[in-house]
Amino acid sequence: MSTYRAPVEDMTFLIDELLQVGETLGGLPAFADLEVGPELSTALLDEGARLAGDVLAPLRRVGDDHPATCQDGAVTLSPGYGEALQQLGAGGWMGISSDPVYGGQGLPELYATAACEMWNSANLAFGLAPMLSAGAALAIHAHASEALKQRYLPKMHSGEWAGTMNLTESGAGSDLGVMKTRAIPDGTQYRIHGQKIYITWGDHDATDNIIHLVLAKLPDAPEGSRGISLFLVPKFLVNEDGSLGERNDVYPVSTEHKLGIHGSPTCVMAFGDTAGAVGYLVGEQNRGLACMFTMMNEARLKVGVQGLGAAEGSYQQAVVYARDRVQGGVAIIEHPDVRRMLLTMRALIEAMRALVYTEAVTMDLAHRGPPSDRARHQFRIDLMIPVIKAWLTEVGQELTSLGVQVHGGMGYIEETGAAQFLRDVRITSIYEGTNGIQAADLVSRKLGRDQGGAMRDALADVAATVASLGESSEPALVAIARQLACALAGVEASTDHLIAALESAPEEALGASFDYLMQCGYLFGGWHLARSALVAQQRLAEGAHNLFYVRKVATAGFYAEQVLPRCAAHGGAIAGGSAALVSYPAEWL
């Protein structure tokens, strides 16, 4: 069943009314020639919605039923996936926010984020292909030599060539320091020998070439993560004139058998089984992890978008089913508990979207805004990325599970397609750093680096919204203000508690880190819904007769009433301390 239609109305509201992209970004030198604003937003979102709904969504079940396979050193994609990827490239979507100097579109990251949501709502397994290519291209742009950038980036941005990231090895998951892949100097290039696992879209024939970014160690490298270098390893070598040369010594060994994302060819990749795979150093020797972290914020933001995308797809299918399924003489959408589930899905989805779109603008300002403000915006996006990655994917799992529940017994039957959203999204809390790693990063690094300075700046912005709501004559906004103020006070208390614990009992601080991350996620999501309600109420006061604005205020009210109280539960767990967790012997588990 394919029911997905991009929520263009909400996307447009966020981009052009809440975030006012024309004013916020349109005047920056990087975007001065693009006429950023409502007309551009409409054109991009409408075309993206057409591609997502008409091309990608019908392939979601196809990929699930007919997974990618590997035989004799080559991957066969699920039917239709190669042609769809070529359509994405032909439409200019692969380089939508990339540098125009190297063939990119040069648009704000905000539009790339909206496109990413559409691809992943329609077909998460497919959406991984443009996501990984964009990440690889970003790392090349930031760290490779000018010669490598000129040779590889234009073809990647056009979609003629794809990109991958090769980090993980068997026995070396998040601890990359123990990897065994080696790079042997060979004149001005290197010979790569080793094997990588879990390589997303590691091989296929949908593009003319695949550009692998591979982490490996030089013979004299220091021990641990300090001795990792990054290499560009093409599937086909590239001649001086830009034409493709001979096949490089890099091949897929197999495709992984997974719980979900069956249409994504997740490969075991072998490098250098014979003469050695030819690779080119990206960045400095032994600085490979630093190069990879350049694209981590962008990649983790996009994984959060995957949680949002799957939830939106699940919600749309659940609403259609609930309107059609009759039980007790009425459609089940009239049943209070079904309405509770659907409204919980809707409210959280709108909160997730508002949060991640807002921080996509922060990312644009950190990279392309006025130089004097970039450090401040970078601190904000660094703080928010672990929350976005982990909170959105945790909530995505909850909401896709609710989508199954709305279907009742039919949700458990694969032919409806409801369960696929849940199976597909389950990986998102694991890859790009597990959500436990994100929580530890938020508390130990992001809070610890400035004693909570960036967090307190963000909380001050929430407080300003609370004040604006409280000044309203609208009872609905005043009620939202009360709930948001309560949740804000809880996060402020948790922040103070954890900053103190980092000094006196760091293990207890880490034990509470996941609760803190979730508490922050619910608060920030509610904050942006409240901001949306303020804008919507202003439009209504100006005389707009649009049910969208009425519904936006009502959805924010439901979130404040029924979802924001979750902050208190997480805050209570933090205030209670983690002594019982820390003192519980591992051998008792």
pLDDT at residue 344 greater than cutoff 90: yes
pLDDT band of residue 3 (cuts 50, 70, 90) is confident
User: What does the DSSP 8-state code read for residue 264?
Assistant: S
Exposed/middle/buried for 228, CB within 10 Å: 0-12, 13-18, 19+? buried
pLDDT at residue 447 greater than cutoff 80: yes
Mean pLDDT of the chain: 96
User: What six digits make up the tokens of 364?
Assistant: 């644009």
**pLDDT at 178 (0 to 100):** 77
HSE-CB for 181 with a 13 A CA cutoff: 35
- Contact criterion met (CB below 8 Å) for 380 and 557: no
Q: Annotated active-site positions, please?
A: 432
- How many CB atoms sit inside 10 A of residue 241's CB? 6
Residues paired with residue 71 on neighbouring β-strands, in sequence order: 74
**pLDDT at 295 (0 to 100):** 78
328 vs 464: CA distance, rounded Å: 47
* C-alpha closest to that of 399 among 301, 487, 319: 319
**pLDDT at 175 (0 to 100):** 66
Share of the chain above pLDDT 70, in %: 99
**pLDDT at 224 (0 to 100):** 84
**pLDDT at 143 (0 to 100):** 96
Q: Per residue in 356-396, pLDDT tens?
A: 999 999 999 999 999 999 999 999 999 999 999 999 999 99
Report, as an integer, the average pLDDT of 239-252. Answer: 96
Report, as an integer, the average pLDDT of 46-71. Answer: 97
In sequence order, which residues have a C-beta less than 8 Å from that of residue 471 and are 6 or more positions away? Answer: none
- Contact criterion met (CB below 8 Å) for 255 and 69: yes
Mapped onto helix, strand or coil, the DSSP state of residue 196 is strand
CATH of 295-432, one of 1.20.140.10, 3.40.50.2300, 3.40.50.10490, 3.40.50.2000: 1.20.140.10
pLDDT band of residue 225 (cuts 50, 70, 90) is confident
Report, as an integer, the average pLDDT of 577-587. Answer: 91
pLDDT band of residue 298 (cuts 50, 70, 90) is confident
pLDDT at residue 1 greater than cutoff 60: no
Residue recorded with tokens 């909570």: 452
Determine the length of the chain.
Answer: 589
User: What six digits make up the tokens of 179?
Assistant: 């990897």
Residue recorded with tokens 């709904």: 53
User: What six digits make up the tokens of 123?
Assistant: 């077909």
In sequence order, which residues have a C-beta less than 8 Å from that of residue 319 and are 6 or more positions away? Answer: 333, 342
Report, as an integer, the average pLDDT of 330-354. Answer: 98
pLDDT band of residue 174 (cuts 50, 70, 90) is low
Going from N- to C-terminal start, the domains of the chain cover: 8-293, 295-432, 434-582
Taking each helix axis from N to C terminus, what angle separates 475-504 and 513-541, rounded to the nearest 10 degrees?
A: 160
CATH of 8-293, one of 1.50.10.10, 2.40.110.20, 3.90.340.10, 3.40.50.40: 2.40.110.20
**pLDDT at 20 (0 to 100):** 97
User: What six digits make up the tokens of 270?
Assistant: 């072998």
210: left (phi over 0), alpha (psi -120 to 50) or beta: beta
Exposed/middle/buried for 263, CB within 10 Å: 0-12, 13-18, 19+? buried
Sign of CA dihedral 396, 400, 403, 408: negative
Q: Per residue in 478-506, pLDDT tens?
A: 999 999 999 999 999 999 999 999 999 99
Report, as an integer, the average pLDDT of 566-586. Answer: 93
168 vs 149: CA distance, rounded Å: 25
Question: 71 — phi, psi (to 5°)?
Answer: -150, 135
Q: Per residue in 413-445, pLDDT tens?
A: 999 999 999 999 999 999 999 999 999 999 999
Q: What angle do CA 98, 60, 111 make, to 5 degrees?
A: 25
Report, as an integer, the average pLDDT of 217-231. Answer: 92
Residue recorded with tokens 């396979």: 69
- How many CB atoms sit inside 10 A of residue 26's CB? 16
Residues paired with residue 282 on neighbouring β-strands, in sequence order: 230
**pLDDT at 545 (0 to 100):** 87
Cα radius of gyration rounded to whole Å, the chain: 24
347 vs 529: CA distance, rounded Å: 8
pTM attached to this predicted model: 0.96
Q: What kind and span of H or E run contains 192?
A: strand 189-200
